[in-house]
Structures are given as C-alpha cells and as structure tokens.
Structure 1
Amino acid sequence: MTKLEVVSTCVIKSQKSIEKKIELTPWDLQVLTLDPNQKGLLFHKPNPKELAKSSSEIIINHLKISLSKTLNYFPLLAGRLVARKNIDDDTLSFCVDCKNEGAEFAHVIALDLNVADILEQTYVPKIVKCFFPLNGVRNYEGVSKPLLAVQVTELVDGFFIGCTMNHCVADGTSFWHFFNSWSELTRDSNLIVNKPPVLDRWFPEFVATPIHIQEHDLIYDEFVATPIHAQEEHERIFHFSKENIAQLKAKANSEYGHNIVCISSLQALLAHLWQSVIRCRFGTNAADENFSFKLLIGARPRLQLHLPQGYFGNALHLVNVTTTAKEILEHDSGWIALQMNKVISTQTHEEVMNFYQSWVKNPKMLKKSEVFASSLIASSSPRFNVYDNDFGWGRPVAVRSGAGNKHEGIITIFCGAEEGSMDIQACLAPQTLRAMGHDTKFMAAVTKIHDIV
C-alpha cells in the first residue's frame, strides 16, 4: 500500500500586500456550501535517474518562490473570506479580504508510486484524492481556511501538482488563468503576466451590494456531510480522439442538425456518454421517469457587454436538460444532443440577467442533494488551457480532479493531450463503469490513453 510522507508544509504570501475587499456576486455566493475546485497535473521528472534529492529540493523551492510572485497578481488567493452580520435584517454578507494571510503549500513524497501507476490503471487510483490539500473543507470555511492550497506530490519518476481553490473565488476559467500564470512565472521569473486578472466583481445596476443571505441557507444537508471515504463511486478516464469526436458530431448533425441548428462536438460527445450511462444503469427496462443532465453554463460569452478579459471570479450557472430514461434509449444519441442544444441556445443575455436578478431577490445555495438527484452533471471544459502548463520540465502527461464535489454522476471534461481530443473523468457507481467498459457501442468511440502517451 502506497504511503505518503509529508516532507514540509508552509504558508506562501504575496510579495506585495494590498488593502482591498471584494464583494461576492450571486455566481460566487451560490457555491458557498459546496466544495472547492480541485484540479491537478501530472508531470514526468526531468531525467529521473539523475535527479538527486538536492535537485528535487531546488525544484520545490523554486515553485514556492514563483507561487509568491504569482500571488502578486492574484492577491485575493492569499486572502480570506469575511462573513459580516447585517443587524438590520439578521442576514450575512460575504466578501474577500485581500489581507495576505497566505496560501498553503505542502511537499509530499509517494515512496513507491510511479507515473505509470496513475496512467495505466483502468480506474483512477484512490490515492489520487490524497494528492490534493483541504479535502473535506467547504467553501464557506474560507473565513478561516486558505482560499488556495497547493500540494506537490513527488513520485519516483514524476511530480503531481494539485491545487485546491475556493470556488467562491474562482470558476474553472479563473482557476486555469491562475495555473497558466503560475507555470509561466515558474518557467521564466522575469515574465510579466500577459493577461493580468481583473479582481473587481461585476454587478448590474439593479443590484445593491453587499448581497444579503440567510444564515440557515449555509447549513449542511445529509448529502453534503457524507464522509469522503464512505463514498462508493469509482472514477474512470475515457479518452476520445479528434477523429472519433468528429464522427460523433457528423452523425448527430446528419440526423438532427439543419441549417439553423448545429450540434457541437461536446454536445454530441456528452449525448453519446449519457445514452451509455442509462443503458448500463437500466438495461432494456428503462422506466418512463425523468432523468436530467445538468450543464454549467458560462455567462462570459453570453452577456451583451462582455465581462473584461481576465475577469477573475465566477460567471456560470446551472441548467437542466431533462427527458426520460426510456426516451434516451428509444432515440439515437443525436436526438439527445439536440435536446442539449435547445436548452443551451436559450441561455441568452436576457436569461443570464433573469438568473442574476431572481437570485438576488431569493438567494438559493446549490445543494448536493438537489444537484445530484437522478442526474448527471458536467463540469469543467475542454477549452481550458491544460497541457501548456510547462513548469520547466515539459508538458504535463495527464490532468486529474480531486475529491471535491465527487458523487455519482459527476462528469469532468478536459481537453486531451493531443489537439482536438477530449478526456472525460466519469464518477459513477462501480457496476455502471464496469458495464460501460463492455458497452461496445460506447467504447467504439473511446481510445486507450496509454496507447497514445
């Protein structure tokens, strides 16, 4: 059994301190009761046979220095959440105080683990969850816990850099903005970040700040409180080549697309996956009951007045694509993709504003017991710049997500290592994943990852 040895832990502060408080938007506040965002990258060590212990320590120290420099641009990540009591109506308001209390940094060694032990397994090894810090912490605990924590796990022949970032501070777009900037400054400390983050949050004119929320909305439900180690879900990476994705897209559009509607590559791929999950869960006896695929919709490109480039925060909300398990099996995957396309096409500037305005009037936190009920949910995006994160040792060989928000039905989407490909990290019941591995219709579009590494 693999043992992890903690070599050191410390707090990394920005080299510059600023006095700034950042109010939180509905996009930020709705995730207060959920888990932080956890993503990490796996790298081969440079010349692993020649890398002495002292050289490894030099790498770790260099990462600490470059992280401190990166926090100069992202000072809120070295801050903390502040919960303020509103006496007039007995509510709470939250903001980020950029008071430079620092980010957490840990160096850990996996004494007997190789890169191949991560890449060449059918299922994501359980040990990967331990490559991330702050497991079990909820976003609203950012009042006392770091908003950013980094763990560098040293393998026999590689490094895994796992980042845990409070989700009230950043969505996936902003998470990878930070990661990209950190890798750039690690590679060349003289660089100036070419896309500095915009820290001030965006509020429409009709919103008075700070936003007030009820304290009872922050109480856990039983689903949230489930211990990480008690979960029975397994995870598996399914890799789809550029060519196979193109075939899925072409088939969906030939069957259900037309001059007005164009089914996207991602919609075609998720429909292909959704149909397999239902087929493997219910067999041929799917009931006529509702089943949802929840999609996180990015608001940045949908607003008529686009958010500024580098806007650092959240700008997304959840929408449902709902049909019945029976319909999913009775139709081709192209029909399912069309249902996704119809829902996504309704997310206009006006709909984004409607969400924003209605949330301010009636704040509602996302609850795991509601989000994961009889549904799949897609998170992350193949558009994020993952494989250009070179810290000076070359490109990463894999990306993985942590234990945060992991329950049956979470589908995490990443770009693949080769251009145009995609990886899906599926968190599902063991019996469902086993059945999907034998689902010839689904697996016909899947390429083995270690055949191309």
Structure 2
Amino acid sequence: MPEASIRVVSSTTIHLSNKLERSGWELTAWDVAMLSAHYIQKGLLFPKPPMPFDAVSQRLQTSLSHCLLHFPFLSGRFATDPETTTFVDCNDAGALFVVAKADELHVSDLVNAVDVPAIVRSFFLMDGAINFDGYSLPLVAVQVTELEDGVFVGCSFNHAMGDGESFWHFFNSWSELSAGHPSITRPPLTERPQIHNELGPVRYLPSEDHMERFKTPVLRERIFHFSAQAVARIKAKANEQSKLGKGEISSLQALSALMWRSITRARNLPSGQTTGCRLAAGYRKRLDPPLPREYFGNCIRAILTEAKAGELLGQDLGWAAQALHETVSRQTGDTAREHLEGLIKNPHVYHLSWFDPNSIMVGSSPRFEMYGSDFGWGKGLAVLSGSAHKFDGKISAFPGKDVGGNVDLEVCLFPHYMAALESDEEFLDALLPSH
C-alpha cells in the first residue's frame, strides 16, 4: 500500500433540525457500568458515490440532523444529579461531524490487505476517549473520509448510551434518511424496561478516580472470512461431537469454540493454566417481559466459560462448543435480574484491564444489520472498526458482506500469537469453504 495520509477538511457541530423541549434522559445501571469503557467505533467502506463529494457531505450532515430528532439524547451531554447518578442533559450541544480526505488511498488498499491497515484508526474520532468523557465531549462523532475511489463513514458512539444493537439501529436509521426515506423504519423505544422500574435507579456518582484510561497495545489485527459453507461445516461438526440433551449449538458458539481452542494453542499455555472465553450476551429477548430490538440502551453482559488449557485442547471442538452453549443457556430473565440487582446494590464501572490475558473475548454479532446501511449510493463493501476495546484476544463477529450465512471475525492478537494462529492446522482447515 502506498504511503497514505489523512487530512481534515472541515469540522462542524450538528444540531437537531428542530428544537425540542429540553429534558433529561436517565442512564440505567447497565449504562453506568460502561462509563470507563471506550466509545464504540464502527463504520462502513463504500464505493465512490455518483455525485460530488461536497454534495455527499452536505447530504450526510442534513440527514444526521434529522436523525437526531429521533434520537435527541445523542445530541446532549452527560450531567449529574447529586441525588441519583449520571443522566443525559438533552441540551442539543450537538454531534461532531468531520470531513477528511485520504490522499493516495484506494478501496483495494483496505479490502485486499492481509492485516487491517493502521490508517483505519484515523477514520474514527474519539480515539482513546472513554464514555465518562461524555460530560464534555459529543456522544456521537462522525468522520466521513473521502478515498481516491470510495468513501468511509466512521461513527464513534458513546457506549454508555447503548450497545451494539443500539449503535447499528442509529447508524441504519441515519442511512435511511440520507437515502431519501421520509422517516425511519424503526423508531427507538426509549421507555425504561419494567425491570428498571421495579428495582429502582442506580445511585452512583462517578468521578475520574473511578475511571481507567486504557491504552490499546501494539497488536496485529486480521479479519478472517468464513464462508457460509465453512460456517455450516464447523457448526455441524460441533453439534455432532457434542453431547447436548436438547437444543442446538449455534454458528457463533461453534466459531467461538474454534477460536478459543486455536488461540489457546497459539499462546502455548501450560496445561494447568485456566483460560476463558467471554461472550457478549444480549438480554433483550431474555427479559420477562422481553424487550424489542428497538429498545435503546445497554442490555448486554459478558458471560464467562472457563477450562484448563489441557482439558480444552485434550477434548474436541464439540466439548468446547457445548461448554459455551451451556453457559449461554443459563442466561435467563432471572439471571438478568440478578445481575442488574448486583449493579444497583454495588454500583461500579467496567475496566478493560480486568480482562484475563489468557482468555478471549467475543463481541459484536453477525446478526447485526451492518450491511443494511445504504446512504443513497449503494451498499457497503466492508465493516471496519477503530482502536476502541482492542486487546490481545479480542474478537468481533460481523456478518459477511454477501448474504447467506457468511461470517467475518476481526481478531486482535499480539504479533507472535497471530503468527502462530496463522499456522494452526485446526484453524486453517476450518477456514476452507469445503473439503
């Protein structure tokens, strides 16, 4: 790839297209727990639009202003009620919109690269910011970067405002308005769930002393593409080898088991070393009553499955997948309530440094509608992310670009572990579309 550079062309604060009555928006215990984490940084690479880039930029700014009317809290800033906790002051302080130009950078430089190029991090704003910074920084910051033959739309989104489901709900709603739809297809549900009304608000006054400024280490990042045929084969193998009494191991559970085993082997852990696999489990469907996908906010928890390295590698793929499946199956409305009660009784914020370096963490989901976004000039070519929440062992699952069950896994590892993974026989065999 040639030596590319990014230069900022303009920076604008985007306000609501119409003034709304100023009010507050309360954060839940699940939201408050995210205050020390990074902003979500995700975006889409698009082909070159059939219109001047200035027109593209103006369309995106106008549609973002209209979209914020449906999500007005995203145009506010955090504030503190001394009697309770952090909330959003819907004061329309605005979202940040930056236009940038990537000189000498082409779409092929990104989609054909083995490792995710380091320049991708420059496609996102709020690098290094944590959600607690939302007292003074925008809760949403967009950077639209013009490539020589394409456009990248990168969005940095305060994770205390919502999880991945909420992020893509907002992103896709914005794309609908940009493409000319008169309104959004799925208005957000902002009423707090019944469980929060029953348990009451979290009483926690955050301060900088409670926060951690996590610095992303030097990593290699690769996106591994699993075809629909490969995913089906891995899932079938896991189900055939497992001893499940009921239910079925999902595609993501099977892929997570594969990565847990392969990365544990790449790390060459002692047989007696405990290793874990954390999965980001969504609670919307598990609550009683369940919540629709349109619920806006955080409704997730990282759930842990552990094993000794020797046991994990001494058994087959089905054993590991079954262990993950059983952990997921134990997540119910009751466990969600128990977890939330714990956060209310003992409020705290998650620190990325708590992550076990002998484990892996699988976040995001291939079920998110990432390629559903069309801003008016065609579907996206690739999903890419910034430096947020990246550490050795972090994996993000994305749907493949082509419909039909393809899955992409963005894998972050220390360079020597990535080199070992790239020669792991079980992993390489699983990547093959068919035998």
Say whether the fold is shared (TM-score over 0.5).
Answer: yes
CA distance in 1, matches of 2:406, 2:218: 29
Q: Does 1:294 pair with 2:291?
A: no
Q: Residue type matched to 1:23 in 2?
A: E
Residue equivalent to 1:10: 12
Q: How does 1:129-168 map to 2 (within 5 A)?
A: 129-168=121-160
User: What's the TM-score once normalised by structure 1's chain length?
Assistant: 0.91
Deviates more, 1:286-295 or 1:339-348: 286-295
Tell me which residue corresponds to 1:332: 316
SS of the aligned residue for 2:85 comes to strand
1:198 aligns with 2:224: no
Deviates more, 1:287-296 or 1:34-43: 287-296
Q: SS of the residue aligned with 1:70?
A: helix
Q: Give 1:219 shift.
A: 2.8
Of the candidates 76, 80, 90, which is equivalent to residue 79 of structure 1?
76
2: CA distance between counterparts of 1:260 and 1:126?
A: 45
Task: Report the 3-state secondary structure (helix = DSSP H, G, I; strand = E; otherwise coil) of the residue aligned with 1:159.
Answer: strand
Shift of 1:399: 0.1
Matched, 1:60 2:57: yes
Q: Take 1:409 and 1:206, find their aligned partners in 2: how far apart are those partners?
A: 37
Matched residue, 1:387: 371
The one-letter code of the counterpart of 1:72 is: L
- Give the 5 Å matches for 1:401-412: 401-412=385-396
Aligned to 1:438: 423
| Cα separation, partners in 2 of 1:74 and 1:214, compared to 1, 3 Å | closer
Question: Following TM superposition, by how much is the alpha carbon of 1:259 offset from its aligned partner in structure 2, in angstroms?
Answer: 4.9
- The equivalent of 2:102 in structure 1 is 110
* Further displaced range: 168-177 or 19-28: 19-28
Flag structure 2 segments of 5+ consecutive residues without an equivalent: none
Report the alpha carbon displacement of residue 208 of structure 1 after superposing the two structures with TM. Answer: 2.6
Letter in structure 1 aligned against 2:185: N
- Aligned equivalents of 2:147 and 2:382: distance in 1? 14
> 1:83 Cα deviation (Å)?
2.2
Among 45, 52, 66, the alignment partner of 1:69 is 66
Give the 3 Å change call, closer, same or farther, for CA 309–421 of structure 1 in structure 2: closer
Deviates more, 1:161-170 or 1:255-264: 255-264
Q: CA deviation digits over 1:190-244, x for unaligned, max 9?
A: 42212101223335244233x21254685344xx443x4xx21110001101111
Deviations 1:248-292 (A, max 9, x none): 11111111144513111111111111111011110xx63311111
Q: Which moved more, 1:161-170 or 1:9-18?
A: 9-18
Q: Distance in 2 between matches of 1:129 and 1:106?
A: 15
CA contact (8 A) 2:45 2:381 kept: yes
* Equivalent residues in 2 for 1:415-426, closer than 5 Å: 415-419=399-403, 420-426=405-411
> Structure 1 residues 214, 184: closer, same or farther in 2, change over 3 A?
closer
Q: Is 2:328 the counterpart of 1:344?
A: yes
Query: How many residue pairs are counted as aligned between the two chains?
Result: 428
Q: Conserved in 1, the CA contact under 8 Å of 2:85 and 2:206? A: no
What is the distance in 2 between the residues matched to 1:94 and 1:62?
A: 34
* 2:252 alignment partner in structure 1: 266
Q: In 2 relative to 1, CA 304–176 (structure 1 residues): closer, same or farther, beyond 3 Å?
A: same
Q: Distance in 2 between matches of 1:56 and 1:215?
A: 42
| Superposed displacement of residue 16, structure 1 | 2.4
Measured at CA, do residues 414 and 218 of structure 1 come closer, stay the same or move farther in structure 2, by a change above 3 Å? farther
Q: Does 1:376 align with 2:373?
A: no
User: Could you tell me the percent identity over the aligned residues?
Assistant: 38
Alignment partner, residue 199 of structure 2: 207
Residues 25, 202 of structure 1: 8 Å contact kept: no
CA contact (8 A) 1:217 1:365 kept: no
State the 1:307 CA deviation.
1.9
**In the alignment, what sits opposite 1:238?**
224
Q: Is the contact made by 2:44 and 2:380 (CA closer than 8 Å) also made in structure 1?
A: yes
Separation (CA, whole Å) in 1 of partners of 2:209 and 2:189: 28
Assess, with a 3 A threshold, how the Cα gap between structure 1 residues 104 and 214 changes in structure 2: closer, same or farther: closer
Contact 1:43–1:395 (Cα < 8 Å) also in 2:
yes
Superimposed CA distance per residue, residues 271-330 of structure 1 (whole angstroms, 9 cap, x where no aligned partner): 111111011110xx6331111111111010101201245111110112111111111211
Q: Deviations over 1:127-176 (max 9, x none)?
A: 10110001111101101000000000111001110000000101000100
| Cα 1:59–1:215 shift into 2, 3 Å | closer
| Structure 1 gap segments, 5+ residues each | 87-91, 449-453
Is 2:234 aligned against 1:248? Answer: yes
CA contact (8 A) 1:22 1:201 kept: no
Distance 2:377 2:331 in 1: 41
Instruction: Give the direction of change, closer, same or farther, for the CA distance of 1:372–1:217 in structure 2 (3 Å limit).
Output: farther
**2:373 aligned counterpart, secondary structure:** coil
- Opposite residue 73 of structure 2, the aligned amino acid is L
Which of 337, 347, 361 is residue 353 of structure 1 equivalent to?
A: 337
CA RMSD of aligned residues (A): 1.7
Structural mapping, 1:32-43, within 5 Å: 32-43=35-46
After superposition, the Cα gap between the structure-2 partners of 1:215 and 1:192, relative to the gap in structure 1 and judged at 3 Å, is: closer
Equivalent residue, structure 2, for 1:279? 265
Q: Structure 2 CA distance, aligned partners of 1:328 and 1:436?
A: 16
